[in-house]
Amino acid sequence: MNVTQDLSFISLIANASVLVQLVMLLLLSASIISWTYIFRKMFTIRSARVQTEEFERVFWSGGNLSALYQDALSNRRKADAGGALERIFQAGMGEFTKAKASVAARGGAVDPGLLLDGARRAMRAAYQREMDALESHLAFLASVGSVSPYVGLFGTVWGIMNAFRGLANVQQATLAAVAPGIAEALIATAIGLFAAIPAVVAYNRYSHDIDRLAIRFESFIEEFSNILQRQAR
């Protein structure tokens, strides 16, 4: 019997018990889904950062807010639907414009506080939608990173139990007899770590990047509110 062939990675998986194989399959599936979310989230955050920087550059260049609002409406109708910060601006400016036009149509006095409160509420609602979109699937990465090692350890413990139970059927226990069972059991832990480590690293990195974007969004909301307050007066 060829020992190298018996202890190969594929052979150990094929000869593992059904429960250990199911654990390995679960961990591999979680790893594949995690890597899918990792790459998708990487492109999403990178795009959000670039779009935010571009809109901030245009916004603080001193252009007309009404023209910028019309450009935002035009971008919203396109496939890319503009950037997150642009949509926050559009929500606030749109609510401010509608409220001001409504007051003017009734011929009443303009209350700057009411105009500003409506715009701020609209921007906060848009901010929450954008953050929810950016944070999607992060909970899955966190779950994979925290649970996968324990799932792999469960498969390892079960496999080692079967390996030692098999020793009861032999008269002389040797390392060669128990090594294949222990090796196939340890593969479950290795796969669990393979699934967990990238998920944890990606979760920490993306959470940091999203927090930085959130700070930029909140700062813009406060600064834009000051501009609207001056216009309302």
Cβ atoms 49, 213 nearer than 8 A? yes
pTM of the model: 0.81
Cβ atoms 186, 156 nearer than 8 A? yes
Overall number of domains in the chain: 1
pLDDT at 150 > cutoff 90: yes
Which tokens belong to 225?
């509110």
Cβ-based neighbours of 88, under 8 Å, separated by 6 or more: 123, 126, 127, 130, 217, 220, 221
Domain that residue 29 falls in: 3-232
If one counts every other C-beta atom within 10 angstroms of the C-beta of residue 224, the result is 21
Residue whose tokens read 């222990």: 182
| CB burial readout 78-94, b (16+ within 10 A) else e | eeeebbbbbbbbbbbbb
The three-state secondary structure class of 64 is coil
The three-state secondary structure class of 8 is coil
Alpha helices (H) along the chain:
3-6, 9-15, 18-59, 65-76, 84-106, 112-134, 138-166, 175-232
How far is 144 from 33, CA to CA, in rounded Å?
10
pLDDT digits (tens, 9 = 90+) for 21-58: 898 899 999 999 999 999 999 999 999 999 999 999 98
Q: Which of 111-125, 145-159, 161-175, 204-218 has the highest mean pLDDT?
A: 204-218
How far is 12 from 156, CA to CA, in rounded Å?
13
If one counts every other C-beta atom within 10 angstroms of the C-beta of residue 1, the result is 5
pLDDT at 185: 79
Which tokens belong to 70?
């019309």
Which tokens belong to 2?
């060829």
pLDDT digits (tens, 9 = 90+) for 78-107: 545 568 999 999 999 989 888 888 766 766
pLDDT digits (tens, 9 = 90+) for 176-202: 666 767 777 788 899 999 999 999 999
